[in-house]
Amino acid sequence: MRASISRAIAEEVPIAIELNGMGYAVLMGTGEALEDLACGFALSERLVESAADILDVDAQAVEAGIMLRLTLTPEAAARAELRTRHRTSDSSCGLCGIENLEQAIRPLHAVTATAQANEEAIFAAVDRLHDHQPLNRLTGAVHAAALCDADGAIRLVREDVGRHNAFDKLIGAMLRGGTGWDGGFALLSSRCSYELVEKAVLAGCPMLVTISAPTSLAIERARQAGLPLVVLARPDAVLRL
Protein backbone atom coordinates (compact mmCIF):
# COMPACT_ATOMS: atom_id res chain seq x y z
CA MET A 1 0.00 0.00 0.00
CA ARG A 2 1.31 3.41 -0.96
CA ALA A 3 0.56 6.81 0.54
CA SER A 4 1.54 10.30 -0.54
CA ILE A 5 3.27 12.61 1.91
CA SER A 6 4.39 16.23 1.71
CA ARG A 7 7.87 17.40 2.61
CA ALA A 8 9.34 20.83 3.16
CA ILE A 9 12.04 21.93 0.71
CA ALA A 10 15.15 23.77 1.85
CA GLU A 11 15.39 27.33 0.62
CA GLU A 12 18.39 28.24 -1.53
CA VAL A 13 18.60 31.76 -2.92
CA PRO A 14 21.30 34.12 -4.19
CA ILE A 15 22.54 36.42 -1.44
CA ALA A 16 24.51 39.41 -2.72
CA ILE A 17 26.88 41.00 -0.21
CA GLU A 18 27.65 44.69 -0.59
CA LEU A 19 30.27 46.50 1.50
CA ASN A 20 29.96 50.29 1.76
CA GLY A 21 28.28 50.36 -1.64
CA MET A 22 30.79 47.98 -3.29
CA GLY A 23 29.59 44.65 -4.66
CA TYR A 24 31.75 42.00 -3.00
CA ALA A 25 30.32 38.49 -3.36
CA VAL A 26 27.23 36.45 -4.16
CA LEU A 27 26.52 33.42 -1.99
CA MET A 28 23.94 30.70 -2.45
CA GLY A 29 22.30 30.20 0.90
CA THR A 30 19.27 30.01 3.14
CA GLY A 31 17.66 33.36 3.80
CA GLU A 32 17.56 33.37 7.59
CA ALA A 33 19.92 34.74 10.27
CA LEU A 34 21.23 37.08 7.59
CA GLU A 35 22.77 39.58 9.99
CA ASP A 36 24.75 36.73 11.53
CA LEU A 37 25.83 35.58 8.06
CA ALA A 38 26.99 39.08 7.14
CA CYS A 39 29.08 39.53 10.27
CA GLY A 40 30.59 36.04 10.19
CA PHE A 41 31.41 36.33 6.49
CA ALA A 42 33.14 39.67 7.04
CA LEU A 43 35.28 38.17 9.82
CA SER A 44 36.11 35.05 7.79
CA GLU A 45 37.14 37.24 4.86
CA ARG A 46 39.49 39.18 7.21
CA LEU A 47 37.62 42.39 6.50
CA VAL A 48 36.73 43.07 10.15
CA GLU A 49 38.44 42.25 13.41
CA SER A 50 35.56 42.85 15.82
CA ALA A 51 31.89 43.79 15.93
CA ALA A 52 32.96 47.43 16.31
CA ASP A 53 34.14 47.40 12.67
CA ILE A 54 30.54 46.81 11.51
CA LEU A 55 28.36 49.91 11.80
CA ASP A 56 25.18 48.56 10.22
CA VAL A 57 23.72 45.53 8.43
CA ASP A 58 20.66 45.78 6.19
CA ALA A 59 18.98 42.82 4.49
CA GLN A 60 16.48 43.47 1.73
CA ALA A 61 14.57 41.07 -0.51
CA VAL A 62 14.96 41.91 -4.20
CA GLU A 63 13.57 40.30 -7.31
CA ALA A 64 16.61 38.07 -7.90
CA GLY A 65 17.23 37.10 -4.26
CA ILE A 66 18.50 38.96 -1.20
CA MET A 67 20.71 42.05 -0.97
CA LEU A 68 22.82 42.11 2.19
CA ARG A 69 24.42 45.51 2.76
CA LEU A 70 27.12 46.11 5.35
CA THR A 71 28.35 49.52 6.44
CA LEU A 72 31.91 49.27 7.74
CA THR A 73 34.20 51.70 9.51
CA PRO A 74 36.63 53.56 7.20
CA GLU A 75 39.51 51.27 8.24
CA ALA A 76 37.53 48.10 7.50
CA ALA A 77 36.18 49.61 4.28
CA ALA A 78 39.76 50.20 3.10
CA ARG A 79 40.54 46.51 3.68
CA ALA A 80 37.41 45.58 1.75
CA GLU A 81 38.38 47.79 -1.18
CA LEU A 82 41.85 46.24 -1.34
CA ARG A 83 40.41 42.72 -1.17
CA THR A 84 37.86 43.56 -3.87
CA ARG A 85 40.66 44.56 -6.24
CA HIS A 86 42.30 41.15 -5.73
CA ARG A 87 39.03 39.33 -6.32
CA THR A 88 38.22 41.18 -9.53
CA SER A 89 41.54 40.13 -11.12
CA ASP A 90 40.59 36.43 -11.14
CA SER A 91 40.23 36.30 -14.94
CA SER A 92 43.40 38.24 -15.68
CA CYS A 93 46.79 37.17 -16.98
CA GLY A 94 49.09 34.48 -15.63
CA LEU A 95 51.29 36.90 -13.69
CA CYS A 96 48.23 38.28 -11.91
CA GLY A 97 47.22 34.70 -11.26
CA ILE A 98 50.36 34.25 -9.14
CA GLU A 99 49.09 37.03 -6.91
CA ASN A 100 45.68 35.37 -6.77
CA LEU A 101 47.16 32.06 -5.67
CA GLU A 102 49.03 33.79 -2.87
CA GLN A 103 45.80 35.45 -1.81
CA ALA A 104 43.96 32.12 -1.87
CA ILE A 105 46.23 30.48 0.73
CA ARG A 106 47.04 33.26 3.17
CA PRO A 107 49.00 32.83 6.41
CA LEU A 108 47.08 31.92 9.54
CA HIS A 109 47.94 33.01 13.06
CA ALA A 110 48.45 30.35 15.71
CA VAL A 111 45.48 29.21 17.78
CA THR A 112 45.99 30.34 21.37
CA ALA A 113 42.76 29.16 23.02
CA THR A 114 42.65 25.69 24.55
CA ALA A 115 39.66 23.35 24.42
CA GLN A 116 38.70 21.76 27.73
CA ALA A 117 36.35 19.17 26.22
CA ASN A 118 37.13 15.44 26.44
CA GLU A 119 35.82 12.67 24.22
CA GLU A 120 32.73 12.14 26.38
CA ALA A 121 31.78 15.78 25.78
CA ILE A 122 32.21 15.34 22.03
CA PHE A 123 30.11 12.16 22.07
CA ALA A 124 27.36 13.99 23.96
CA ALA A 125 27.32 16.93 21.55
CA VAL A 126 27.21 14.71 18.46
CA ASP A 127 24.37 12.69 19.99
CA ARG A 128 22.34 15.86 20.68
CA LEU A 129 23.02 17.79 17.49
CA HIS A 130 19.97 16.46 15.64
CA ASP A 131 17.70 17.87 18.34
CA HIS A 132 19.04 21.35 17.55
CA GLN A 133 18.46 21.15 13.78
CA PRO A 134 14.79 22.05 13.24
CA LEU A 135 15.30 23.08 9.61
CA ASN A 136 17.14 19.88 8.77
CA ARG A 137 14.43 17.79 10.42
CA LEU A 138 11.92 19.40 8.05
CA THR A 139 13.99 19.23 4.89
CA GLY A 140 16.87 16.78 5.36
CA ALA A 141 18.99 19.10 3.25
CA VAL A 142 20.82 21.63 5.41
CA HIS A 143 24.01 21.75 7.44
CA ALA A 144 24.43 22.86 11.03
CA ALA A 145 27.23 24.59 12.91
CA ALA A 146 27.09 24.41 16.70
CA LEU A 147 28.89 26.09 19.58
CA CYS A 148 29.40 23.44 22.25
CA ASP A 149 30.67 24.01 25.78
CA ALA A 150 33.39 22.02 27.49
CA ASP A 151 30.82 19.53 28.82
CA GLY A 152 29.29 18.91 25.40
CA ALA A 153 26.16 21.00 25.91
CA ILE A 154 25.06 22.77 22.73
CA ARG A 155 24.81 26.51 23.38
CA LEU A 156 24.09 27.92 19.93
CA VAL A 157 23.31 26.52 16.46
CA ARG A 158 22.90 28.02 13.00
CA GLU A 159 21.69 26.18 9.87
CA ASP A 160 22.09 26.73 6.13
CA VAL A 161 22.15 24.73 2.90
CA GLY A 162 25.85 25.66 2.68
CA ARG A 163 28.27 24.36 5.30
CA HIS A 164 30.39 27.51 4.98
CA ASN A 165 27.35 29.73 5.44
CA ALA A 166 26.23 27.78 8.50
CA PHE A 167 29.62 28.28 10.14
CA ASP A 168 29.72 31.96 9.17
CA LYS A 169 26.26 32.38 10.72
CA LEU A 170 27.47 30.79 13.95
CA ILE A 171 30.62 32.92 14.02
CA GLY A 172 28.58 36.03 13.26
CA ALA A 173 26.06 35.27 16.00
CA MET A 174 28.92 34.88 18.48
CA LEU A 175 30.53 38.10 17.26
CA ARG A 176 27.30 40.07 17.56
CA GLY A 177 26.48 38.62 20.97
CA GLY A 178 29.97 38.89 22.42
CA THR A 179 29.95 35.13 23.03
CA GLY A 180 33.26 33.35 23.65
CA TRP A 181 34.31 29.73 23.15
CA ASP A 182 35.08 29.34 26.86
CA GLY A 183 37.02 26.11 26.43
CA GLY A 184 34.38 24.58 24.18
CA PHE A 185 34.45 23.66 20.51
CA ALA A 186 32.69 23.95 17.15
CA LEU A 187 30.71 20.98 15.83
CA LEU A 188 29.88 20.93 12.10
CA SER A 189 27.59 18.49 10.31
CA SER A 190 29.84 18.34 7.27
CA ARG A 191 33.19 17.27 5.94
CA CYS A 192 36.21 19.22 7.13
CA SER A 193 37.44 21.44 4.30
CA TYR A 194 40.34 23.87 4.51
CA GLU A 195 37.96 26.84 4.36
CA LEU A 196 36.22 25.65 7.52
CA VAL A 197 39.58 25.24 9.24
CA GLU A 198 40.50 28.81 8.31
CA LYS A 199 37.16 30.14 9.57
CA ALA A 200 37.70 28.31 12.87
CA VAL A 201 41.19 29.74 13.31
CA LEU A 202 40.12 33.29 12.45
CA ALA A 203 37.23 33.01 14.93
CA GLY A 204 39.56 31.89 17.73
CA CYS A 205 37.97 28.44 17.94
CA PRO A 206 40.00 26.10 20.22
CA MET A 207 38.89 22.84 18.53
CA LEU A 208 37.00 21.89 15.37
CA VAL A 209 34.84 18.75 15.27
CA THR A 210 33.20 17.54 12.06
CA ILE A 211 30.88 14.66 11.26
CA SER A 212 32.65 13.69 8.04
CA ALA A 213 36.24 13.27 6.91
CA PRO A 214 38.83 16.02 6.30
CA THR A 215 40.67 16.96 3.13
CA SER A 216 44.46 16.87 2.97
CA LEU A 217 44.68 20.66 2.87
CA ALA A 218 42.39 20.96 5.88
CA ILE A 219 44.76 18.76 7.87
CA GLU A 220 47.79 20.72 6.70
CA ARG A 221 46.26 24.11 7.50
CA ALA A 222 45.07 22.96 10.92
CA ARG A 223 48.55 21.68 11.82
CA GLN A 224 50.13 24.94 10.69
CA ALA A 225 47.83 26.91 12.99
CA GLY A 226 47.86 24.43 15.85
CA LEU A 227 44.09 23.81 15.60
CA PRO A 228 43.03 20.43 17.04
CA LEU A 229 40.83 18.52 14.60
CA VAL A 230 38.37 15.78 15.51
CA VAL A 231 36.72 14.18 12.49
CA LEU A 232 34.37 11.32 11.61
CA ALA A 233 32.65 12.16 14.88
CA ARG A 234 29.98 9.72 16.06
CA PRO A 235 28.16 9.32 19.39
CA ASP A 236 30.62 6.55 20.27
CA ALA A 237 33.76 7.10 18.16
CA VAL A 238 36.00 9.90 16.87
CA LEU A 239 39.26 10.30 15.00
CA ARG A 240 41.68 12.85 16.45
CA LEU A 241 44.22 14.52 14.15
Q: Which residues are catalytically annotated? A: 93
Q: Which one-letter DSSP state was computed for residue 160?
A: E
Q: What is the DSSP string of 100-146?
A: HHHHHS---PPP-------HHHHHHHHHHHGGG-HHHHHHS--EEEE
Q: What is the DSSP string of 182-207?
A: TT-EEEESS-B-HHHHHHHHHTT-S-
Distance CA 56, CA 226 (A): 34
**H or E segment at 237?**
strand 237-240
∠ Cα 201 131 39 (to 5°): 35
Distance CA 187, CA 127 (A): 11
Smallest CA-to-CA distance from 148 within 188, 186, 102 is with: 186
Distance CA 136, CA 161 (A): 9
Give Cα separations from 197 to 27, 52, 72, 141, 229 (angstroms).
Answer: 19, 24, 25, 22, 9
